[in-house]
Amino acid sequence: MKSGLYVVKMIANELIDCFDKKDGKALIFGNGGSAAQAQHFAAELVGKYTRQRNCLPAISITTDTSILTATGNDYGFDHVFEYQIEAFGRKGDVAIGLSTSGNSDNVVRAFEMARRKDMRTIGLTGEGGGKVKRYVDILAEVPSTDTPRIQEAHIFLIHEICGDVEEYYVTKKT
């Protein structure tokens, strides 16, 4: 694993590159506590982290209960993110998946679909990266197997990433 600061910069730069393209967006997902963190991540990008700036196109695909339950019921829970990536993802968009184990099948399937759609892929995981590491362009791997510690580290990484992205847009000369 590369150092945390280096990975934060890589992820922030990937998001900036995506947002600077016409119609580029981030699709963010995870299960349980990671779903809540996906929502938080999107909220910090759409609204603001700490400073006023233009809104950025980030969507948590963990929030639409009708899509999640219809897809889960009709096709299985393993497909709930994959089908949304297929529906909403476009070439050049960024797919960001959070999984403390790195082995959540629905997260892995979403990354597989993102790859097929020529999207950039970013994973936030715990130690080892699990299955996710095979499908991501950038991996932020927390050196722990303890779920609460991994989630705490993920929220720290999310805040650092949002801070770097926000700094770019606040100081950007257009």
pLDDT at 1: 45
Q: Which CATH number fits domain 4-169: 2.60.40.1250, 3.40.109.10, 3.40.50.10490, 3.40.50.10420?
A: 3.40.50.10490
Which pair of structure tokens corresponds to residue 97?
């998946």
Task: Give me the residue label for tokens 């297929």.
Answer: 86
Please report which residue ranges of 54-146 form alpha helices under DSSP H: 65-75, 82-88, 105-116
- How far apart, in whole angstroms, are the C-alpha atoms of residue 85 and residue 29? 10
pLDDT at 92: 96
pLDDT at 119: 98
pLDDT in tens, the chain (174 residues): 455 789 999 999 999 999 999 899 999 999 999 999 999 999 999 999 999 999 999 999 999 999 999 999 999 999 999 999 999 999 999 999 999 999 999 999 999 999 999 999 999 999 999 999 999 999 999 999 999 999 999 999 999 999 999 999 999 855
For the chain, the domains span: 4-169
pLDDT at 56: 98
Neighbours of 152 (CB within 10 A): 13
Structural contact between residues 100 and 147, judged by C-beta atoms closer than 8 angstroms: yes
CA distances from 95 to 15, 119, 156 (A): 10, 7, 19
